[in-house]
Amino acid sequence: MRASARTALIMLSVLLSSCGTLITSITSDISVFHRMPPTLTNATKYSFLRLKGQETSLEHASYEEFIRNDLGKHNFREVQFQEAEVVVIFFYGITQGRQEISSIPIFGQTGISSSHTYGGLYNLGAYPGFSGTTTYVPSYGIIGSMPYSSTEYTRYLSMSIYKRPKTDKEKLEKVYEGKVISSGSSNQLPKIAPYMIRALFKNFPGDNGRTETVTMPFQ
Over residues 58-84, the pLDDT tens digits come to 999 999 999 999 999 998 999 999 999
Q: How far apart are CA 53 and CA 147, in angstroms?
A: 42
List the alpha helices (DSSP H) in 1-57: 3-19
- Residue 151's pLDDT is 80
> What's the one-letter identity of residue 117?
T
The 3-state DSSP class for residue 124 equals coil
Cβ count near 214 (within 10 Å): 19
**How far from 43 is each of 15, 81, 84, 200, CA to CA, in Å?**
53, 16, 11, 20
- Residue 169's pLDDT is 77
Output DSSP code: residue 195: H
Helix, strand, coil shares of the chain as percentages rounded to 5? 20, 50, 30
Closest CA to 88 of 171, 32, 161, 163: 161
Q: pTM (2 decimals)? A: 0.68
Q: Show the low-confidence residues of the chain (pLDDT under 70).
A: 1-21, 37-42, 97-104, 111, 113-132, 134, 136, 147-150
